[in-house]
Amino acid sequence: MSTPTLWTVLGIAPTRDVLVIRRAYATLLKRLNADEDPAGFAALRQAYEQAMMLARTVAMSAPVTSIAPLPEMTPAPAAPPPALEQLRSAFVALQQAATTPETPNPDTLRALLEACLTSPALENLSIQLEFEPAIVRFFAQTLPRTQSLLEMVIDHWKWRDRPRSAAGGAIAALVGHADNLRSLEQLQISAPRVSRALTLPPRPAWLWIQVVFLGLDVSVQQALEQFRHVAPGIFDAGAQAWWSDFFTRPHLRPVWLRTAGIVALLGCYVGGLVGMDRDRLWLGVALGGLAGALGGVAFAGLWLGLIDWPRYRLSGTRSAAPPWLRLGWAPAAGVACILSIVSPDGLPAMVGALAVSLVLLSWAVIMAPGFRDLTAPPVMRRIWAAIIINIPLGVWWTLNNLGPLAPPTIPMSVVFIGTVVAFAIGQPLLWVEFMHDLTRGQQQQARVAVAAIALGALALLLLTRIGSEGSHLLLMCLVLVVLAHRTPALNLTAAQVKIRHYVTVVPAAVLGRVLNREDMASILQLGGILFMAGVALSMGVCFYNDWKASREGDPSPA
């Protein structure tokens, strides 16, 4: 195969026009990936060097037919001494101007950098390959004083178009720094409050006021997602450290502080209604507001002490904790439900049930994976989903409280609420353990076992008239079956979940309408039948989904 001419490589006709040669080289350089085709890049660069030499020194009457092969160790043609000396002088002047004790003049820096980049000496490949890393080191040593020059260099060498260069990751860091400067300029226009929070020295009291009342933390977190690796000089160092601590270390949650404010306002209203005579109305309002505020702040403090601090302290060891510690809250909740049945219906038992429920909730929250700030939208959606999915259980429990058939005791209701909330929070952890720790065969066996239990309970409810004796135990057992079946039901599709809940939501919503108070004794029986039918249906659909996935060769465990 004949060696291609240098003009063929450049894609132009033979010419002495330096601008035409440079334009052709720049066009081809944009299309070429130096990392993927180093040989092509070397050929293009060699053709460009020879074309530039010919344009300056060789008459066009003596055509060149091919690129002269160079020995591997032969140095590139040296640049003319005056041009090289001009480049050195301009670069030394640029370094001196950028490192003076006084603040450098941006126009002076720009003029000196322009003199460097337009030097004819850079038309020599070997000099350019030496100068490019030097300019990268110059920026690394002088930023942020010279960050106004970054775009000029990036555009000149088209660093955004080249994935790699001789300087490697250093160029990528400079491009990222320039992109961050662009994002910061946009932030100053679109969200000046957020920009000031990141670029000015922090005033903690004023920042906390904006966090609580204006949701500044959410805006800052969303803005930070636009930035790449943040180098010094982009943000104020103190502000960056303050926000880093805010997002990584536990503190009073803004959502609970806002709640405390709402409770304080409600306390003012209630205090005004039930307070003193008209002359001392302000005292009732003040006492009510104070009581509400103290109650809200106390709740925020308890959340910090019982949930956020333990999660923070256990963040490094939570994933490595033994199974009994990660999952122990689930069986403990079941035991608490059964023990609440035999507890007397009085104040001591209610206080004990409340304490147990708080322990279960704290345990589940501490061990739950990826439990983020309640202001984060994904978690809020998960909370709303947990509320909606437990509405049928709540309606059924309420109707049982209204009926004459031995309604649940107060300790039972307290433990019931605590258990439902604990399962709602810790359900993702149960799904992860079920999916990764059990084989597909074991998962199918678990679904069969849950379905068998549900069908047995369904038969019992259909064939037996429920009396007051044992109704509490039956009620709690049915609730635990409903909560337990949600773990193996993780492979239900969205449409299947909707159909599954139509089985219980619609009948549960109309039970109170179609039944008289005299018929309330059958609420336990009818509701249990509906729930057990839904559980058995869910397990059957999950079994089918998993079987279908295995037939189609899906290697996923669920």
In tens, the pLDDT along 320-354 reads 778 888 889 999 999 999 999 988 888 888 999 99
CA distance 352 to 466: 29
> 176-190, 369-383, 480-494, 544-558: which has the highest mean pLDDT?
480-494
Tens digits of residue pLDDT in 265-319: 888 888 877 755 566 677 778 888 888 889 889 988 988 887 788 878 776 666 6
Cis peptide before 201 (omega within 30 of 0): no
What value does the mean pLDDT take over residues 224-251? 82
Q: In residues, how long is the chain?
A: 558
Give the confidence band of 35 by pLDDT, cuts at 50, 70, 90. Answer: low
Nearest to 90 by CA among 126, 117, 64: 117
Residue 425 has pLDDT above 90, yes or no: no
Q: What is the pLDDT of residue 92?
A: 86
| Predicted TM-score (pTM) of this structure | 0.54
Q: What is the pLDDT of residue 403?
A: 66
**What's the Cα-to-Cα distance from 85 to each of 53, 79, 91, rounded to whole Å?**
19, 10, 10
Which of 162-171, 285-294, 448-457 is the least confident region? 162-171
CA distance 139 to 149: 9
Q: What is the pLDDT of residue 416?
A: 94
Tens digits of residue pLDDT in 71-114: 333 444 444 567 788 888 888 888 888 888 887 788 888 888 88
Nearest to 123 by CA among 51, 35, 34, 17: 51
Let me know how many helices (H) and strands (E) the chain has, helices first: 25, 0
Tens digits of residue pLDDT in 381-419: 666 677 778 888 888 888 788 766 678 889 999 999 999
What value does the mean pLDDT take over residues 9-24? 78
Answer yes or no: are the C-beta atoms of 300 and 257 closer than 8 Å. yes
Answer yes or no: are the C-beta atoms of 336 and 413 closer than 8 Å. no
What value does the mean pLDDT take over residues 161-183? 71
The residue with tokens 């060498």 is: 157
CA distance from start to end of the chain: 58
CA distance 48 to 55: 10
Give the confidence band of 375 by pLDDT, cuts at 50, 70, 90. Answer: very low
Structure tokens at 446: 């678990």
